[in-house]
Amino acid sequence: MSKQLDYSYEPSRQDLKLEIRKDKPFNAEPTPPDLVKAYITPLEHFFCRSHGPLPKLDDHHVISIQGIGLETAQQFTVEQLKQQFKKKTIVMAMQCAGNRRDGLHKVKDTKGVIWGPGAIGNGSYAGCRLKDVLGSIGINCQLPDIGSLHVAFESVEQCEEDRCYGSSIPLSKALDEFGDVLLAYEMNDAPLTQDHGAPIRVVVPGYIGARSVKFLKSIIIQNQESSSYFQQRDYKILPSHIETEQQAAEYWCKVPSIGEFNVQSYVCDPADGQVESNCRQARVSGYALSGGGRGIQRVDVSGDDGKTWKEAILYQPKTDSTTTNMWGWCLWTVEINVKRNTRIVSRAVDTSGNIQQEYPVWNYRGVMNNSWRTIDRRDKNNAVL
């Protein structure tokens, strides 16, 4: 039986130009052409991902920190974090692991919100570095066995699957001088909105959005990953032969949680790469990105089903001279000849040489789809299953 959740504090969303994928909890994404209109995604076109009703908090909200390396729990209000620690701004792509789940759902049923290609946005986030906050209470790289420790985050956000939303990342990522993990209180030069985690959220660049916990209430240093449902029984790539929850039960503990996302690109304009049948040439645009701070080396675009390719012009400004990591996405454009009744496709290559795969790799949760082809169920023999 589902818990009774209180949705009475939901914000007004009349200014959002999004397509709703689920009403309660609220999940919505922009149309593909709207998504790539600007390098920094405006809030009206920024996807919203919720797991339950949104709490309404203010700057007096308290975040507790406890666990290994601390004799007693430490506490900071959002207001104290703003006053006591230097503010840092990063530009990063926030991408749900379920982005483009619809492509896998066309192969075979998946579990989760059926996202199109818009469960992603490129935002400018500002806040204090988690590294600085932890360092102020004695948590630093001198901690014994740091390579085996984790930072678990818990949210005020309630959800049906667990008592609250939770997740974790390796402590080494949190303490990385160039890892840029933030306790963010601003987005796009304004205070966080309720839909995006106000008044404070974790921001973990280069990782799937599930690790950037909103409405943060606690930080725990521990010797294992978070025990949360969303770390242990969700956001994992199960083997392709796992097709039911019953089959999945014995595999959740065997499969690692997703951290960094994979190399990705998508044709957004014309919408989903579809052109009129009589179109012979098209101006095409889309996005590309890769996880772990890897930049995009090249985007190839094809209008003849992958027989020939043309390199796109990339737009990916470097926004911070203090880091070698590329957290933001890359926008691209190209003019190509289009074969009649053929969908335009793209493939990206990142700076480590990783390249998008041709066909979808189906998995039960429908996560991490980065194929350059999208196929229908009737063509599923072409998919990698």
Look at the block and give the residue holding tokens 């229908």.
376
User: Tens of pLDDT along 91-148?
Assistant: 999 999 999 999 999 999 999 999 999 999 999 999 999 999 999 999 999 999 999 9
Residue 142 lies in a domain: yes
* CATH number for the domain that contains residue 60: 3.90.420.10
Residue 188 · residue 123 · CB < 8 Å: yes
* C-alpha–C-alpha distance, residues 85 and 79, integer Å: 10
* C-alpha–C-alpha distance, residues 177 and 151, integer Å: 16
Per the structure, the count of domains in the chain is: 2
The answer on 141 and 51 residing in a single domain is yes
Residue 3 lies in a domain: no
- Give the global pTM: 0.95
The answer on 241 and 279 residing in a single domain is no
Residue 6 lies in a domain: no
Residue 21 lies in a domain: no
* C-alpha–C-alpha distance, residues 212 and 230, integer Å: 12
Q: Which domain range does residue 149 map to? A: 43-246
Is pLDDT at 256 greater than 60 in this prediction? Answer: yes
Q: Percent of the chain scored above 70 by pLDDT?
A: 96
The answer on 204 and 86 residing in a single domain is yes
